[in-house]
Homo-oligomer: A and B are copies of this chain.
Amino acid sequence: MTQTKCRVAIVGSTGYGGVELIRLLLQHPHVEITSVISSSSSGVPIADGYPHLNQIMMENLDGVDVAEMKEKADVVFTATPSGVSAKLAPQLLEAGLKVIDLSGDFRLKSPDVYSKWYKKEPAAQAYLDEAVYGLAEVFGAEVPGKPFISNPGCYPTATLLGLIPAVEAGWIDPATIIIDAKSGVSGAGRGLGLSVHYAEINENLAPYKLNKHQHIPEIEQTLGRIAGRDVAVTFSTHLTPMTRGILSTMYATVQGTHTEEDFIKLYREYYEGRRFVRIRDKGKWPATKEVWGSNYCDIGFAVDERTGRVTILSVIDNLMKGAAGQAVQNLNLMLGWDEGAGLAFTPVYP
Interface string of A145-186 (1 = CB under 8 A from B): 000000000000000000000000000000000101010111
A-B CB contact pairs (8 Å), 25 listed: A16-B199, A16-B350, A26-B346, A51-B286, A52-B294, A180-B249, A185-B199, A186-B199, A192-B192, A196-B199, A198-B201, A198-B241, A198-B243, A199-B243, A200-B289, A202-B241, A202-B350, A205-B287, A205-B315, A207-B286, A208-B285, A211-B311, A232-B306, A234-B304, A234-B309
* Residues of B close to A300: CB separation below 8 A: 207
Interface string of A38-54 (1 = CB under 8 A from B): 00000000000011111
A210 and B311 contact, CB distance less than 8 A? yes
A211 and B302 contact, CB distance less than 8 A? yes
A206 and B287 contact, CB distance less than 8 A? yes
B350 and A243 contact, CB distance less than 8 A? yes
Contact for A207 among B285, B293, B347, CB less than 8 A: B285
Q: Which of A29-87 contact B (CB under 8 A)?
A: 50-56
* Residues of B close to A280: CB separation below 8 A: 51, 54
Closest to A212 in B: B302
Task: Answer yes or no: A238 CB below 8 A from chain B CBs.
Answer: yes
B290 and A51 contact, CB distance less than 8 A? yes
* Residues of B close to A236: CB separation below 8 A: 180, 249, 302, 311
Binding site for B on A (CB under 8 A): 16, 19, 22-23, 26-27, 50-56, 178, 180, 182, 184-186, 188, 190, 192-194, 196-208, 210-211, 232-234, 236, 238, 240-245, 247, 249, 251, 275, 278, 280, 284-294, 298, 300, 302, 304, 306-307, 309, 311, 313, 315, 344, 346-350
A56 and B346 contact, CB distance less than 8 A? yes
A55 to B294, CA, bound (A): 13
Among the interface residues A196, A243, A290, A350, which one has the most CB atoms of the partner chain B within 10 A? A350
A209 to B326, CA, bound (A): 31
Contact for A307 among B190, B233, B306, B311, CB less than 8 A: B233
Q: Which 9 A-B pairs have the closest CB atoms?
A: A206-B287, A204-B289, A210-B302, A180-B180, A52-B347, A199-B350, A192-B192, A52-B290, A185-B198
A52 and B197 contact, CB distance less than 8 A? no
* Residues of B close to A55: CB separation below 8 A: 275, 278
A285 to B192, CA, bound (A): 21
* Residues of B close to A203: CB separation below 8 A: 184, 202-203, 242-245, 289, 292
CB distance from A243 to the nearest CB of B (A): 5
* Residues of B close to A241: CB separation below 8 A: 198, 202, 240-242
Contact for A204 among B194, B287, B304, B307, CB less than 8 A: B287
B26 and A211 contact, CB distance less than 8 A? no
A89 to B231, CA, bound (A): 53
A245 and B205 contact, CB distance less than 8 A? yes
A205 to B291, CA, bound (A): 11
A204 and B245 contact, CB distance less than 8 A? yes
Given contacts A287-B206, A291-B52, contact A192 B194 (CB under 8 A): yes
Given contacts A247-B238, A293-B293, contact A199 B205 (CB under 8 A): no
